[in-house]
Amino acid sequence: MEHRVVITGLGICAPNGVGLKDFTKSLQEGSSGISFQQELKDLNFGCQVAGKPKLTSEYINKYFTPLQLKGLNASGLVYGVIAGTDAWTDAGLSKAEEDEPDWDSGVIFGTGILGVDKFRESIHLVDAGDTRRLGSTSVIQTMASGISAYLGGILGSGNQVTTNSSACTTGTEGVIMAYDRIRSGKAKRILTGSCSDSGPYVWGGFDAMRILPRKFNDTPSTASRPLSATASGFVPGSGAGALVLESLQSAKERGAKIYAEVLGGAINSGGQRGGGSMTAPNSSSVQRCIKMALKNSGIESKDIEAINGHLTATGKDPVEVLNWSMALERSGLDFPYINSFKGIMGHGLAAAGSMECVAAVLQFKEGQIFGNVNSEDLHPEIEKLVDKSRIPVKTINFRSKTIAKASFGFGDVNACVIFRTLMN
């Protein structure tokens, strides 16, 4: 028996808003979470702007016990626990009792690099011959599955608890993995999402590759320019997004609110062939992924009303739009609305897909298509393919029934998921 899968909870810890209320307002108004980072200037970075969630110690203390806080130095783990816990609460779910886990609930929560600052701290202590000062939490803060283990323990999850990692595709891939498990009846509900650490040790490699913008250090809110003719590289970001996926039957039985249905999706790789590489996607595989997502969801190209793209504010943006156009066989005024949220939150790396999935789903709730910030000067190659009205600069009122969201990551990996308002 195949089960329908719905989204019943959302959580967010993003540069442009922590919590759904502030995050939604930022998306609606186009207010940026990208800011100047003095630390990057002091370290002679070419790009000195970034997107980083704004958190106080008092706020963090609400999510961790005093014991957990002792020696805690892993920003991605903090972001993930906040987003994941909030999503579970938003879904109206409770934690398992102390004597027995919740066998029907699991966690699939991804990351790229976890606890890099803690790892650096640990290296210094080990090199100094002072391993006793590492503390009992250094391992869980630096192992990739630390985030899913943390959340699994907080919630008491007895189903699958694991971490996926596929570069910038991680969060969207996790949604599809959770969907597959629930659809097959192996779980009733899964908390899925992804997180990314912040700071120079995560972002330094990208600065060295010279793929970050260097001309906007004095005007950080204008630095990330998806779809734009003046885009000059992605702005590094960080944070976490989380979604509770649940079988429709389970959601109805407990009277849960439902944000949207997950119709299906597809995951593939271009194999770093046919123009694809470690850093660039194979266009054929991107188009194939989109087409397979439609097929697996049981819908046609004409059903897609809006797209939330990967669109990182690099020279690959026109290529991505072309791939969407070819895969959907739609262009001009017939093209769906398309947007990128990286203009106000930057590129959250492993966290990007989950944060953007949360934002994409919020468009159903708000009856809006959120605007494309810093995209007023459309790239000429994009303007040839898509009518300007399909790329709104400011938020517009539009009740989408079906939204496609895709992510494409280093290693030539792709994921596309289809969301729809619940029908029948």
Note the pLDDT of residue 256. 98
CA dihedral (76, 278, 361, 241) in degrees, to 10, reads: 0
Contact between residue 103 and residue 25 where contact means Cβ atoms under 8 Å apart:
no
Cβ neighbours of 319 (radius 10 Å): 17
Kindly indicate the confidence band of residue 137, based on its pLDDT and cuts at 50, 70 and 90. confident
Instruction: Give, in degrees to the nearest 5, the angle at Cα 381 between 286 and 346.
Output: 65
Question: CA–CA separation, 141 vs 126, rounded Å?
Answer: 16
Using the predicted structure, report yes or no on whether residue 231 has a pLDDT greater than 80: yes
Q: What does the alpha-carbon distance between residue 136 and residue 187 come to, in Å, rounded to a whole number?
A: 32
- The Cα 320–Cα 308 span in angstroms is 11
Inform me whether the pLDDT recorded for 254 exceeds 90.
yes
Give the Cα separation of 23 and 273 in Å (integer).
38
Which neighbouring-strand residues pair with 415? 267, 407
User: What's the Cα-to-Cα distance from 410 to each of 39, 116, 350, rounded to whole Å?
Assistant: 26, 19, 10
The reply to whether 5-253 and 265-415 are identical in fold is yes
d(CA 361, CA 255): 20
Class of domain 265-415: alpha beta
140-173: per-residue pLDDT in tens? 889 999 999 999 999 999 999 999 999 999 999 9
66 vs 221 pLDDT, higher one: 221
**Whether the Cβ atoms of residue 189 and residue 158 lie closer than 8 Å to each other:** no
Angle, CA 312 vertex, CA 281 and CA 378 arms, to 5°: 110
Residue 1 reports pLDDT greater than 80: no
Q: Are 342 and 313 in contact (CB under 8 A)?
A: yes
Domain limits, the chain? 5-253, 265-415
pLDDT of res. 80: 98
Tell whether the model's pLDDT for residue 136 goes beyond 90: no
Report the mean per-residue pLDDT for the chain: 96
**H/E element holding 327?**
helix 317-328
pLDDT at residue 310 greater than cutoff 80: yes
Please give the share of the chain, as a percent, with pLDDT higher than 90: 91
The answer on pLDDT for 71 being more than 90 is no
Percent of the chain, pLDDT > 70?
A: 100
pTM of the complete model:
0.97
Q: For residue 222, is pLDDT > 90?
A: yes
pLDDT digit string (tens) for 345-388? 999 999 999 999 999 999 999 999 999 999 999 999 999 999 99
The two three-digit tokens of residue 104, written as one number: 């029907």
Segment (H or E) for 22: helix 20-29
CATH class belonging to 5-253: alpha beta
Contact 360, 403 (CB under 8 A): yes
Average pLDDT over residues 192-217: 97
Residue 369, token pair as written in the block: 């298509």
Mean pLDDT of 170-184: 98
pLDDT for the residue 67: 85
Under the banding of pLDDT at 50, 70 and 90, the label for residue 132 is confident
pLDDT score of 133? 84
